[in-house]
Amino acid sequence: MSGLVVVGTQWGDEGKGKITNYYASRADMVVRFQGGANAGHTVTVDGKKVVFHLLPSGISVRGVKCVIGPGVVVDPFALVEEMDYVRSNGIDVGENLMLDVGTHLVMPYHKAVEEAEEKGRGKHAIGTTRRGIGPAYSDRYSREGLRCGDLIPFDRFRSKLEESAGRKNEILTKLYGAEPLNVSELVESMRDVSERLSPHIADTLNTVRSALAEGQNVLFEGAQGALLDIGFGTYPFVTSSHTTAAGVAPGTGVPPKDIGRVAGVAKAYTTRVGAGPFPTEADPERSKIICDRGAEYGATTGRPRRCGWVDAVALRYAIALSGVERLIITKLDVLDAVETIPVCTGYRVDGRNLSTFPRDVETLERVEPVYEEVQGWMTDTSGARRPDDLPDRAVAYLRRLEELAGVSIAAVSVGAASDAIVEFESLL
Ligand code: IMO
Ligand code: MG
């Protein structure tokens, strides 16, 4: 068995796409297990920037099988558009892509409902990506969802869709006073999309399990991050799926004991998009420096990300949740111009030290981070490819992060280019 899970340990955007893509060249299969088009995984292919939302980040690597597992929610229109987009970038999408029969569909009414809900929340809005993720998972759990397997035969799908869309139109018009969706137009557009996706729809459970049983290298690509997990994140400012490594089993049908090793990805600093507590958020001036140097604008929504420092309390919490065995640090080069780097080593609240990450946002909003200042290296690290290429102070920063996290660092990324990475230890 040789599975490797790549998950985020912060609030998403840790660089999971680049890391998955990096390891994909040594993998046989890449599997997405949760989330949907809310993800924005940026990868550099032949020097060109390509963003994946639904397709596994291994799709650009020839010979790698890509699976969208049953824990994902798929917007079929977005997927078809993305397939066309990656093809226009010279990437082949054919038999290398499989979409599980149990994967739930995100329909336009999910987005419309989310739009209305977010508006209704007023100043308590979550700041979602408006990709219909929450409403689609809600339908899944209330057992009203439509799944990829339902698309075939289309006539049966048609009546299910008409029923679901009719119910959602009632909610949209009567509860939210919003415009209803045109159901017959939706059915017709789904007919085209369904034809495009049908060749890829299959029962993927045995495909993934057999690959593992045969000793193939299988990468499980997480989306979002531990602090956005529906059960353990900063609820309600979270996404609607299990973003930790624990999500792999229900998201793929692989039993927990067979999943394999877990690598956690963290930025050399921290970012967050959307609302919710963020104890180590930097002051606007320093936040802007990181934001500009790190091009911290959402890959899905284009929103500027909130930027701050590494939070070791949150990181330890995320590592414990996912059982992270090795860390991969990304965007180290963004800190090349920071003279001293604050790192949060603990929290204080009401004059007391807190040793664990609070489980409620009210407390998290009140914590005062305890900072330690680490000397910056003020040297360009973007050209580093081997451990010896890194300045001593950058190495010292990484060693300090390892101490605080209690886990060693397997690799560090120093730029957007696909080879801009320094490996300390091979994970695959
Ligand atoms: P990747 O895979 C960063 C955030 C949204 C919002 C909250 C809920 O690129 O790391 P949702 O649309 O999921 O219901 O929004 O979660 N969010 C992300 N933030 N990266 C992501 O994905 C995210 N996916 C969702 O900004 O705060
Ligand atoms: Mg993102």
Q: Supply the DSSP string of 25-94, one letter for each residue.
A: TT-SEEEE-SB-TT--EEEEETTEEEEESSS-TTTTSTT-EEEE-TTBEE-HHHHHHHHHHHHHTT---S
Cα separation, 26 vs 20, in Å, equals 10
Among all bound ligands, the one having the nearest atom to the CA of 10 is: 1
CA atoms within 13 A on the CB side of 71: 25
Phi, psi for residue 257 in degrees, rounded to 5: -65, -20
Confidence of residue 68 (pLDDT cuts 50, 70, 90): very high
pLDDT value of position 1: 59
Cα separation, 276 vs 57, in Å, equals 28
Cα separation, 342 vs 321, in Å, equals 25
Among all bound ligands, the one having the nearest atom to the CA of 125 is: 1
Confidence of residue 224 (pLDDT cuts 50, 70, 90): very high
Q: Ligand 2 centre from 182 Cα, in Å?
A: 31
Strands 48-52 and 41-45: antiparallel
DSSP state of 420: -
Convert the pLDDT of each residue in 150-185 to its tens digit. Answer: 999 999 999 999 999 999 999 999 999 999 999 999
CB atoms closer than 10 angstroms to residue 256: 11
Question: What residues pair up with 8 in beta bridges, in sequence order?
Answer: 265
Ligand 1 pocket test: pick from 10, 38, 110 the residue with the most ligand atoms within 8 Å of its Cβ: 38
Q: What percent of the chain has pLDDT over 70?
A: 100
pLDDT value of position 296: 95
Q: What is the mean pLDDT of residues 351-372?
A: 96
Q: What is the mean pLDDT of residues 86-100?
A: 96
Question: What residues pair up with 40 in beta bridges, in sequence order?
Answer: none
Is 92 in the active site? no
Q: What does the radius of gyration of the chain's CA atoms come to, in whole angstroms?
A: 21
Q: What is the mean pLDDT of residues 92-118?
A: 97
Q: Ligand 1 centre from 92 Cα, in Å?
A: 27
**pTM for this model (two decimals):** 0.97
Q: Which token pair is 310?
A: 């590494």
Cα separation, 136 vs 249, in Å, equals 20
Q: Ligand 1 centre from 386 Cα, in Å?
A: 33
Evaluate: CB of 128 within 6 angstroms of ligand 1. yes
Q: Which of 156, 29, 157 is nearest to 105 (CA)?
A: 157
Q: What is the mean pLDDT of residues 212-234?
A: 98
Q: Which helix (H) or strand (E) holds 217?
A: strand 217-221
Give nearest CA residue, ligand 1 atom 13.
239
Q: What is the mean pLDDT of residues 217-238?
A: 98
Q: Ligand 1 centre from 390 Cα, in Å?
A: 32
Q: Which token pair is 20?
A: 């998955």
Residue labelled with tokens 């680490």: 374
Nearest atom (ligand 1) to Cα of 241: 13
Which of 28, 41, 53, 104 is the catalytic position?
Answer: 41
Give nearest CA residue, ligand 1 atom 19.
12
Spell out the alpha helix ranges (H) of 228-372.
Answer: 248-252, 284-293, 312-322, 361-366
Sequential DSSP letters for 144-163: ---BGGGGSSHHHHHHHHHH
Among all bound ligands, the one having the nearest atom to the CA of 35 is: 1
pLDDT, averaged across the chain: 97
Question: What residues pair up with 43 in beta bridges, in sequence order?
Answer: 50
Is 13 in the active site? yes
Q: Ligand 1 centre from 38 Cα, in Å?
A: 6
Sequential DSSP letters for 243-310: -SGGGHHHHH---GGGS-EEEEEEESSEEE-SSS--TTBPPHHHHHHHHHHTT-B-TTT-PBPEEE-E
Cα separation, 267 vs 240, in Å, equals 23
Convert the pLDDT of each residue in 290-316 to its tens digit. Answer: 999 999 998 888 889 999 999 999 999
Q: Which of 268, 220, 304 is nearest to 400 (CA)?
A: 268
Cα separation, 77 vs 414, in Å, equals 35
Amino acid letter for position 104:
H
Q: Ligand 1 centre from 77 Cα, in Å?
A: 19
How far is the first Cα of the chain from the last one, in angstroms, to the nearest whole number?
12
Q: What is the mean pLDDT of residues 208-230?
A: 98
Q: Which token pair is 163?
A: 């029923």
Evaluate: CB of 8 within 6 angstroms of ligand 1. yes
Give nearest CA residue, ligand 1 atom 23.
224
pLDDT top residue among 428 and 263 = 263
Ligand 1 pocket test: pick from 129, 137, 238 the residue with the most ligand atoms within 8 Å of its Cβ: 129
pLDDT value of position 299: 83
Residue 73 predicted with pLDDT over 70: yes
Evaluate: CB of 287 within 6 angstroms of ligand 1. no
Cβ–Cβ under 8 Å, residues 266 and 309? no
pLDDT value of position 355: 82
Among all bound ligands, the one having the nearest atom to the CA of 16 is: 1
Ligand 1 pocket test: pick from 128, 229, 270 the residue with the most ligand atoms within 8 Å of its Cβ: 128
**Which residues make Cβ contacts (< 8 Å) with residue 68, sequence separation at least 6?**
31, 32, 54, 55, 56, 74, 97, 98, 99, 100, 103
Residue 109 predicted with pLDDT over 90: yes
